[in-house]
Structure 1
């Protein structure tokens, strides 16, 4: 009986091997394609939103023609395709690889810009949820990295065509980072951690002087100092506040002010 089972098993294996040998081999449709054709097809796939296929073709182009003029362009397109596919890790890896390999490339400024965009889009998601979650659970790392990337572009390539947009995004990011710090300061204040609240608000004032969020940061400092019994610091901060924001809604008196604060802080 055991011999019969062994014979059957061997037969099944042989039949399986035979069946596999009958399957047609996977044909590489790109075999023999020129660099121009590979680039054209990859670009079409990219424009059509077929990012995975575009990446495959660009990688094929780079490996088949590593010393041609298309190879470096393919590396840039791979980074962009990953960015469009929302694969942040792969996109950043491709960007860093290009900058390392081609620091003096004529279009390397674009890669610095793309690095900023990749992180910028990631921090947009962070901002969308900042007011729906305990702020101490979130680290605006992508915001800072996006700012750093855009700043590197502006510093290294002040005449780049991407510099004006980078400067605008940096301003937005400064406001985002300041708003985050103020949000955390507000969070601490609501929970009675007045010293932590004041310190966080003070950090926002010191680091992001031109941000609109500084108005509330100063106000939080005033209320925090008041709660801590530091009347001299409270009064000094109030003088600074009134000098810079004489028409601030935070200066409203009585019930109206309390309603305004409640609306902002809850």
Structure 2
């Protein structure tokens, strides 16, 4: 019985070893390994490209392809949906290359990665509202794209960053609107008013800012504050005329 157990264990170990060997990147000159990785990147074979790039990174950390391998890993991780690894590689690259010539692209990729962390295919497919979800990835993405525009206004990524900033601003405004509505439903009138006014101040040109006035009006009415009611109604009337 013991002998059979040992034979079975040995077989499992051998199979595991074969699997590891199958997945292992063969030893070859860095130029050949890099060429294969590039071919796989171009064909969209992200997983295999990542294996070869990681092998290059670990075997030749100071080789002639070092910087480009890191940049390629950032792109491959992002395309493969490995967002924590994307951000970790970006952080490492930025720390080692604070003034790199492609720093605008690095910021752009960090913004895209943070933005992707807020997205969910099934939510989009079924039209599920995400306004009440964690806004931290959106705030981080907003900061990344804003920093890119401030530091590199003529970057080839500037135009797209501006478009994304607008979408992110609307997303953040919607999150605050959901919070204001939550306070209203909980009868936390003052909190609902404060959050509504914060939206109007921070995101004045968004749809959420206009909708927050209705929440603000209901809260003032619940508190029987006539001055607040009149001022808010005046703002609503002005917005309706635009």
Q: TM-score, structure 2 length as denominator?
A: 0.83
* Aligned pairs for 1:117-136 within 5 A: 117-125=112-120, 128=124, 135=132
| In the alignment, structure 1 residue 230 sits paired with structure 2 residue 225 | yes
From 25, 29, 33, give the equivalent of 1:33.
29
Could you say what secondary structure the match of 1:213 adopts?
Answer: helix
Q: Residue 131 of structure 2 contacts residue 174 of structure 2 at CA under 8 Å; is this kept in 1?
A: no
| In the alignment, structure 1 residue 93 sits paired with structure 2 residue 93 | no
Q: Could you tell me which residue of structure 1 aligns to residue 56 of structure 2?
A: 61
Q: How many residues align?
A: 233
Q: Could you tell me which residue of structure 1 aligns to residue 239 of structure 2?
A: 244
Could you say what secondary structure the match of 2:119 adopts?
Answer: helix
* Aligned pairs for 1:117-266 within 5 A: 117-125=112-120, 128=124, 135=132, 138-246=133-241
Distance 1:134 1:39, change over 3 A: closer
Q: Distance in 2 between matches of 1:110 and 1:177?
A: 24
Q: Residue 131 of structure 2 contacts residue 175 of structure 2 at CA under 8 Å; is this kept in 1?
A: no
Q: Distance in 2 between matches of 1:155 and 1:66?
A: 32
Q: Distance in 2 between matches of 1:110 and 1:156?
A: 12
Residue deviations 1:25-48 (CA, integer Å, cap 9, x gap): 94866423242x222211222233
Q: Distance in 2 between matches of 1:130 and 1:226?
A: 33
- Larger Rg, first or second structure (1 or 2): 1
Distance 1:147 1:134, change over 3 A: closer
Residue deviations 1:209-247 (CA, integer Å, cap 9, x gap): 222211111222122111111110111122223223326
Q: Distance in 1 between matches of 2:215 and 2:181?
A: 7
| In the alignment, structure 1 residue 47 sits paired with structure 2 residue 62 | no
Q: Distance in 2 between matches of 1:172 and 1:106?
A: 28
Distance 1:194 1:29, change over 3 A: closer
Distance 1:133 1:121, change over 3 A: closer
Q: Distance in 2 between matches of 1:84 and 1:26?
A: 26
Could you say what secondary structure the match of 1:32 adopts?
Answer: coil
Q: Which runs of 5+ in 2 are unaligned?
A: none
Q: Distance in 2 between matches of 1:59 and 1:85?
A: 14
Instruction: Name the stretch that deviates more: 89-98 or 52-61.
Output: 52-61
Q: Which runs of 5+ in 1 are unaligned?
A: 248-266
Q: Distance in 2 between matches of 1:88 and 1:66?
A: 22
Q: 1:112: Cα distance to partner?
A: 0.7
Distance 1:172 1:106, change over 3 A: same
